[in-house]
Amino acid sequence: MKLCIIGPESRSDTEIELMDKAKAKFDSVLYTPIEMIRIETIKDNAAPFFKSVNLLDFDAIFIRVEKKNSDFCYVLLKIFEQHGIFTSLGSDSLLYGYNEFLLPFILKNNKIQTPKTYLAMSRTAIENNIETMIYPVLLKLPYSKTGTIVLDSADSAKGVVDTLEVLKQPVTLQETFEDAEILSVLVVGNDTFAIKGKNKKYKLTRDETDMAMRTSKLLKAAICQINLIKANNQVMVAGFNIKPRLETYSKVHDIDILAKCLSYLAKHAAIKKENPVFNKFLEWIRDMRWKADE
């Protein structure tokens, strides 16, 4: 079995440790900076290469890219999907998960609760809502590769939206709650590991687990982080991260999360390679398990 880890050119300690641990699970391991990958058209197909290595020759792909590389990574994932290669993320993860408006849109369409979100092309289109929003709110640019801005009042929202209007792109405003509990949930297959706040171990309720798993399945993300908020007796999905801090979950839960991720990849890549029909059956069972709870 061969594993390719795709991540940033500047490897963190996590990527280095993943490489070391992967050698116990896979016969061959390659770390590929996404900045060094090229896509070539070969006859009727497209194939990604790192130097002279065709990445379609690998059995499993572990994606560890940042938001700024999501567009290119989306194309890569589509190619891997077309060739039946097992990946830690599906292309839908990149299409919806890192777009600040498409994410709440697809979640709402699938009856997954999210904070109230507004999208507009200009301040004029949204100015009436600015006065009635619940503050603080998060300002996001749907096509930006950077983070968010926290706005604590209507006046600050108007000023920032006016300033950003010169960028000529949509603006997203998402309501949040001052007294909300923030939960970060790492999903690895059917397992979840939650952190409350910054570093407190947390045991998810059944409803919270279901929401995280439904989101993971909807976005076709086998290894990811789902950000939940609890407020006003509701649980809502507030965000999604395809490059979670695995070492943080290892420390808080006192579990080797990196080894767990690699074991999951090795197991399911082997199933897909040896028995693709059975693999589809397992995916169907997982679908039915979580749909039954909706």
pLDDT given at position 248 = 96
Indicate whether 212 and 152 sit together in one domain: no
CATH classification at residue 194: 3.30.470.20
**pLDDT tens digits along 171-186:** 788 888 878 899 999 9
Indicate whether 143 and 208 sit together in one domain: no
Q: Which residues contact 62 (CB under 8 A, 6 or more apart)?
A: 3, 4, 5, 6, 18, 87, 88, 223, 261, 262, 265
Indicate whether 162 and 251 sit together in one domain: no
pLDDT given at position 177 = 81
Cα separations (Å) of 54 from 1, 30, 75? 15, 11, 15
Identify the band that residue 167 occupies on the pLDDT scale cut at 50, 70 and 90: low
The answer to whether the beta carbons of residues 247 and 64 sit under 8 Å apart is: no
Indicate whether 71 and 39 sit together in one domain: yes
| Residue 160 is assigned to a structural domain of this protein | yes
Give the count of domains, the chain.
Answer: 3
**pLDDT tens digits along 52-63:** 999 999 999 999
**Percentage of the chain with pLDDT > 90?**
55
* Average pLDDT across the chain, whole number: 87
Indicate whether 19 and 36 sit together in one domain: yes
- Above 90 in pLDDT, residue 98? no
**Structure tokens that stand for 168 in this block:** 């000529």
**pLDDT tens digits along 266-286:** 999 988 777 655 555 555 555
**Structure tokens that stand for 112 in this block:** 């997954």
Indicate whether 282 and 186 sit together in one domain: yes
Higher pLDDT, 246 or 131: 246
| Residue 106 is assigned to a structural domain of this protein | no
- Above 70 in pLDDT, residue 156? yes
| Residue 272 is assigned to a structural domain of this protein | yes
Q: How far apart are CA 13 and CA 231, in angstroms?
A: 35
The answer to whether the beta carbons of residues 155 and 178 sit under 8 Å apart is: no
**Percentage of the chain with pLDDT > 70?**
88
- Above 90 in pLDDT, residue 290? no
Stretch (H or E) spanning 40: strand 37-42
Indicate whether 264 and 168 sit together in one domain: no
Residue 37: phi, psi to the nearest 5?
A: -90, 140
Cis ω before 136 (30° cut-off from 0): yes
- Above 80 in pLDDT, residue 42? no
By residue range, what is the domain housing residue 203? 181-291
pLDDT given at position 279 = 56
**Structure tokens that stand for 237 in this block:** 């999905």
Most confident of 96-100, 122-126, 235-239: 235-239
Beta bridge partners of 270: none
Higher pLDDT, 166 or 65: 65
